Amino acid sequence: MPEKSSFTEIRYEQPAERVSRIVLARPDTRNAQDLKMLYEINRALDYAMQDDAVRVVILASDGPHFSSGHHLGDHSKIGDFGPPITGIGGFDLPGPEGYFSKEQEQYLGLCWRWRNLPKPILVQVQGKVIAGGLMLVWPFDVVIASENAQFSDPVVAFGANGHEFFVHAWELGHRKAKEMLFTGEAIGAREAKQLGMVNHVVPLDLLWSFTLEMAKKIAERPSVGLKMAKLSVNQSLDAQGMWTAVQSAFALHHLTHAHNRVLFGGLVDPSGAATIRAQAASDRVPASNSQSDE
């Protein structure tokens, strides 16, 4: 088990036999993900994968909200918190080439790597999950949401096609994915369950215990069976072209960055910030979407 002092933005715990838990621990920022947090998550997942006594991992978070997305004020550079994991290079090259490489490593590379880790990973979600916050949910295997959970990707207001791990059509179905992106409005926990993005919806005060009980149940299964079952499902998605589609959307994402640089001198359309803040501050999720499992 890693030393607790080795992490500053997450916690690594072992709440039960054969179960590890990684907890996002920046509630003051609503668990906004800076580069350091992402690499700490990656390192903690590596510990869990390499520990043969661990069969299941839980990803959780402190505070009222799971994640408010990317920490836009983070100016860290690739390499500040350990060596790159993708082998891409070119992070400091000028223009769109360097930034494309940076996001290949920091976002797409990490998400795809996590998606393909061999052991089951459960995510327990409360409160808001905004844009890049979805990239800490969608790479994983089972999603348990509290009744107050809300999921949104409002970055079309920034002049972008969506966040960098573009699996929206698989998670939501193509029509709901378009609605989420076009309107920027949040999807509540109950609707997310109906769409197949969430496995269970539970009262907030039962979120931790419910998720742990499921993890303990899964951990009773043989590790080889769990690994082969996960690989089989993932390969079914691969056969549908998921990876090809993700790479295509990522390239289009960087076309929008290049477009915004020409028009606005930055990565995004600055006029979108007010729209996104206003939507994040509102709770326009129908009550019918917030019922617990029966």
Tally of domains within the chain: 1
pLDDT in tens, the chain (294 residues): 566 568 999 999 999 999 999 999 999 999 999 999 999 999 999 999 999 999 999 999 999 999 999 998 899 999 999 999 999 999 999 999 999 999 999 999 999 999 999 999 999 999 999 999 999 999 999 999 999 999 999 999 999 999 999 999 999 999 999 999 999 999 999 999 999 999 999 999 999 999 999 999 999 999 999 999 999 999 999 999 999 999 999 999 999 999 999 999 999 999 998 888 887 777 654 433 433 443
Helix (H, G, I), strand (E, B) or coil at 32: coil
In angstroms, what CA-CA distances link 238 with 40, 74, 96, 167, 289?
A: 27, 33, 28, 12, 31
In angstroms, what CA-CA distances link 79 with 7, 39, 73, 94, 238?
A: 17, 10, 18, 17, 30
Quick check: is 294 in a domain?
A: no
Distance of CA 46 to the CA centre of its chain: 17
| Cβ neighbours for 272, distance < 8 A, ≥ 6 positions apart | 155, 156, 157, 158, 159
Quick check: is 167 in a domain?
A: yes
Q: Which amino acid is at 281?
A: A
C-beta separation of 206 from 6 below 8 A: no
Burial of 245 (0-12, 13-18, 19+ CB in 10 A): middle
Instruction: Specify the CATH number for the domain of residue 84.
Output: 3.90.226.10
Tokens representing 267? 């990565």
Dist. CA 24–CA 89, nearest whole Å: 28
Q: Which domain holds residue 124?
A: 4-289
Helix (H, G, I), strand (E, B) or coil at 149: coil
Q: What is the pLDDT of residue 226?
A: 98
| Cβ neighbours for 33, distance < 8 A, ≥ 6 positions apart | 24, 67, 69, 70, 71, 132, 133, 135, 136
Q: What is the pTM of this model?
A: 0.93
Quick check: is 135 in a domain?
A: yes
24: part of which helix (H) or strand (E)? Answer: strand 19-24
Dist. CA 69–CA 132, nearest whole Å: 4
Quick check: is 83 in a domain?
A: yes
Dist. CA 142–CA 124, nearest whole Å: 9
Q: Which amino acid is at 178?
A: K
Of 73, 76, 60, 81, nearest in space to 29 by CA: 73
Quick check: is 28 in a domain?
A: yes
